Amino acid sequence: MPERRTVALVTLGCARNEVDSEELAGRLEADGWELVEDAEEADVAVVNTCGFVEAAKKDSVDALLEANDLKGHGRTQAVVAVGCMAERYGKELAEALPEADGVLGFDDYADISDRLQTILNGGIHASHTPRDRRKLLPISPAQRQESAAEVALPGHAPVDLPEGLAPASGPRSPLRRRLDGSPVASVKLASGCDRRCSFCAIPSFRGSFISRRPSDVLNETRWLAEQGVKEVMLVSENNTSYGKDLGDIRLLESLLPELAEVDGIERVRVSYLQPAEMRPGLIDVLTSTPKVVPYFDLSFQHSAPAVLRSMRRFGDTDRFLELLDTIRGKAPEAGVRSNFIVGFPGETEDDLAELERFLNGARLDAIGVFGYSDEEGTEAATYENKLSEDVVAERLARVSRLAEELVSQRAEERVGQTVRVLVESVDGDEGAYGRAAHQAPETDGQVLFTNGQELSVGLMVEAKVVGTEGVDLVAEVLPGSLASPTCTEEAAR
- Please state the residue numbers annotated as binding site for [4Fe-4S] cluster: 14, 50, 84, 193, 197, 200
> CA-CA distances (angstroms) from residue 107 to 95, 150, 152, 398, 460?
20, 10, 5, 43, 40
Would you list which residues are annotated within the binding site? 14, 50, 84, 193, 197, 200
Query: For residues 435 and 269, what is the distance between their CA atoms, to the nearest angstrom?
Result: 12
In 385-477, where do the E strands start and end? 418-427, 431-435, 447-449, 460-469, 472-477
Query: For residues 168 and 370, what is the distance between their CA atoms, to the nearest angstrom?
Result: 43
Query: For residues 473 and 447, what is the distance between their CA atoms, to the nearest angstrom?
Result: 5
Q: How many CB atoms lie within 10 A of CB 97?
A: 18
Burial of 186 (0-12, 13-18, 19+ CB in 10 A): buried
223 Cβ contact list (under 8 Å, min separation 6): 159, 169, 170, 172, 173, 174, 176
Q: How many CB atoms lie within 10 A of CB 432?
A: 25
DSSP 8-state assignment for residue 384 = S
Q: Which residue type occupies 266? A: E
